[in-house]
Amino acid sequence: MTEVRQEMARELGWYASFSVAFGFVSIATGIFTTYGAVLATSGPRGIWAWPISVIGQLAIALVFGALAARIPISGYSYQWVSRIVGPVWGWIMGWISFAFLGVVVVAVDYTIASTILPELFRYVGTTQNAWVITAGVVLLQALLVAISTRTTHRVNNAAVTMQLIGMIALTVLLFAVGAFTGKLDFAHLFETGTVPASGYYGLGGATEAGPFALAFLLGAFTIVGFESAANLAEETKDPARVIPKAMVQAVLSLGVLGFLFLIAVTAAAGRIDGVSASATPVATVITAVLGSVIGKILLVLVVISIFSCGLVITLSGTRLVYAMSRDERFPGWRLLKRIDRRTATPLNATIFMMLIAQIILAVFSRSTDALFELFSAATLLPAVIYAGTVAMYAAKRRSLPPSKGFSLGRWEIPVLVLAAVWLVYELLIFRDASFSAPWIYVLVLCGIGAVYLAVLIIRRGRDSLTMPDMADVDRALDTAGTAPVGAAAERTFQ
């Protein structure tokens, strides 16, 4: 039995953990990315799907919080499923998570280049300049993550603080200035716009989802990634208590603030010409209501928020690749499991994630519908991850290790039922024919993963894919918060 030493310092507190969850979710990113698609497919009335989506995602966050309090180890669903169901299923979950993190960072950064900068600097956005700008943003985020985890968190903490202040100020100003100038039309909140009212709430057919059903993608794409706080469990103080709290608070705060912002933007959009035809509808509304100067200042804050979101995704992706490589279960694991002595970061894993993001960007950016395809893939994959993890929790909840930080208690069954119903409904939306490109991405990545897993099992045998038993997890929980070691220090390998 060989002991593996902890190589990353446990130094993150509650606000850093909250900032990671809040920064990944980033309502600025999600709304700026998907609002135009919602207007096109569901009309202004589509914003009422948001609170339902928030409730569904909150149920998932509560389940993830219960798991994070029991198994506080980097790699979240990969680690949880590996230990509770089995290493092969855990590996599959880890690979799907990797595919998600690779595409979502591109979707987030592409938002800056395609929806905000053209409005901010008044130039015509094209697939070519969006590609170049996004590639530069991805590279800069990787550099920050590679140089220093502490610096990354300082940047993210500052950006999240700015996002909180900026989004609150933006929402208040839209309501106040819009009311003063008469540009708010609350009746617009209930209109369907160019979408026919007949059959609006229908479920759709075998290969198409109804208009209102498609509106749920706004919340499903935005309120996602809160579990990234669990991916930094080995760097968080008292993770069993801090991480569940951070995830739930991030979903609630973002849900409320995001809905108020949607109401303000949509009410203002009713009396502004050309919003539905704009490639950047949210930015168009902000500039029209608040004026060019104030609008641009607030758009700069939104750019910072979105950059922070991509930064957290990059950080989370590197930690997942590092965790799987440390277990010798990722392609090139010998290089990717290394912690750089100078930066104390998984430098090779960071470079790898950056290269993967650049490849995905090159594939999707040739399409004129690149943003829609990217955010669709980045919504489908987490839904699959969430569904698998919730199903695992439901099946194995009685055999889970004890929690010392967070428990669902008597609400466990209602929360599980709510999460399951929401996830089934969300996944059924992706039967719509417009999601063919995201499905192709998912199938290609899963095919590559299946080949590697088969090679891994053939070369090393299924028995080699063992994971530490639950006693190791219990011991990690006992020491969490009292000693500067993480779960990795408690892990033993056969």
Work out the average pLDDT over 79-94.
86
Q: Which residue has better confidence, 33 or 255? A: 255
Burial of 205 (0-12, 13-18, 19+ CB in 10 A): exposed
The answer to whether the beta carbons of residues 74 and 323 sit under 8 Å apart is yes
Encoded tokens for 154: 């300082």
What's the confidence (pLDDT) of residue 472? Answer: 40
Confidence (pLDDT) at 50: 96
- Domain, as residue range, for 50: 12-471
Q: Is the pLDDT of residue 294 over 80?
A: yes
3-state secondary structure of 467: coil
Of 90-94, 264-268, 366-370, 476-480, give the range with the top mean pLDDT.
264-268
Single-letter code of the amino acid located at 139? L
Inside any domain, residue 476: no
The band of 8, judged by pLDDT with boundaries at 50, 70 and 90, is: low
Reported in sequence order, the residue ranges of 87-225 that DSSP labels E, i.e. its strands, are: 204-205, 208-209
Structure tokens at 163: 């996002």
Give pLDDT, residue 165: 85
What number is the average pLDDT over the span 464-491?
42
Dmax over CA atoms of the chain, in Å, equals 72
Check whether 407 has a pLDDT greater than 50.
Answer: yes
Using the predicted structure, report yes or no on whether residue 264 has a pLDDT greater than 90. Answer: yes
Question: 2 forms bridges with which residues in the sheet?
Answer: 493
* Residue 39 domain-assigned (yes or no): yes
* Separation CA 26–CA 9 (nearest Å): 26
| Average pLDDT rounded to a whole number, residues 76-82 | 82
- Which one-letter DSSP state was computed for residue 115? I
Residue 362 phi/psi, 5-degree rounding, is -60, -35
The answer as to whether 19 is a domain residue is yes
CA distance 205 to 4: 53
pLDDT, mean of residues 401-408: 82
For residues 98 and 386, the answer to whether their CB atoms sit within 8 Å is: no
Asked if the model's pLDDT at residue 471 lies above 70, the reply is no
With a cut of 90, say whether residue 374 has pLDDT above it.
no
In this structure, what token pair is assigned to residue 299?
């758009």
pLDDT at 481 over 70: no
Average pLDDT estimate for 377-396? 91
Higher local confidence (pLDDT), 79 or 186: 186
- Please answer whether residues 408 and 189 qualify as being in contact, where contact means their C-beta atoms are separated by less than 8 angstroms: no
Q: What token pair was written down for 473? A: 């997890």
Residue 474 CA to residue 61 CA, distance in Å, equals: 22
Counting the structural domains of the chain, the total is 1
Confidence of residue 488 (pLDDT cuts 50, 70, 90): very low
483: left (phi over 0), alpha (psi -120 to 50) or beta: beta
Q: Quick check: is 300 in a domain?
A: yes
Cα separation, 332 vs 328, whole angstroms:
9
Domain assignment present for 308: yes
How many Cα atoms sit within 13 Å of 351 on the Cβ side? 10
Over pLDDT 90: what percentage of the chain? 33
Q: Is the pLDDT of residue 355 over 90?
A: yes
Please tell me the least confidently modeled range out of 38-47, 49-58, 378-387, 399-408.
399-408
Q: Is residue 137 part of a domain?
A: yes
Q: Is the pLDDT of residue 73 over 80?
A: no
- Comparing CA positions, the residue from 253, 32, 243, 23 lying closest to residue 141 is 23
pLDDT-derived band at 26, boundaries 50, 70, 90: confident
Most confident of 163-167, 266-270, 279-283, 396-400: 266-270
Q: What CATH number is attached to the domain comprising 451?
A: 1.20.1740.10
Mean pLDDT of 73-95: 83
pLDDT of residue 18: 83
Distances (CA, A) of 374 to 294, 331, 352, 439: 30, 24, 20, 11
- At residue 331's C-alpha, the angle toward residues 326 and 335, to 5°, is 55
CB 169 within 8 A of CB 290: no
Q: What is the dihedral of CA 488, 21, 112, 51, to 10 degrees?
A: 140
**Does residue 225 contact residue 25 with C-beta atoms inside 8 Å?**
yes
Q: 157 pLDDT exceeds 90? A: no
Residue 469 has pLDDT above 90, yes or no: no
pLDDT at 316 over 80: yes
Q: Region 228-250: what's the mean pLDDT?
A: 85
Q: How confident is the model at residue 34 (pLDDT cuts 50, 70, 90)?
A: confident
Q: What are phi and psi of 204, to 5 degrees?
A: 90, -170
Return the structure tokens found at 332.
């090139």
For residue 63, what pLDDT is reported? 94
Q: Which two tokens stand for residue 132?
A: 């170049």
* pLDDT averaged over every residue in the chain: 84
Residue 254 has pLDDT above 70, yes or no: yes
Q: Estimate to the nearest angstrom the gap between the alpha carbon of 405 and the chain centroid.
A: 24
Note whether residue 494 is domain-resident: no
C-alpha 341: how far from chain center = 29
* Confidence check: pLDDT of 289 > 70: yes
- Judge whether residue 239 has pLDDT over 50: yes
* Ordered DSSP codes for 203-242: -EETTEE-HHHHHHHHHHHHS--GGGGGGGGGGBSSHHHH
Give 34-55 as a 3 state SS string.
Answer: HHHHHHHHHCHHHHHHHHHHHH
Structural domain includes residue 477: no
* Residues 292-295: contacts with CB under 8 Å, at least 24 apart: 294/173
What is d(CA 438, CA 369) in angstroms, rounded to the nearest whole number?
A: 12
* Average pLDDT estimate for 282-288: 88
Q: What is the pLDDT of residue 483?
A: 37
pLDDT at 358: 95
Q: Are 448 and 454 in contact (CB under 8 A)?
A: no
3-state helix vs strand vs coil in the chain, percent to 5: 75, 0, 25
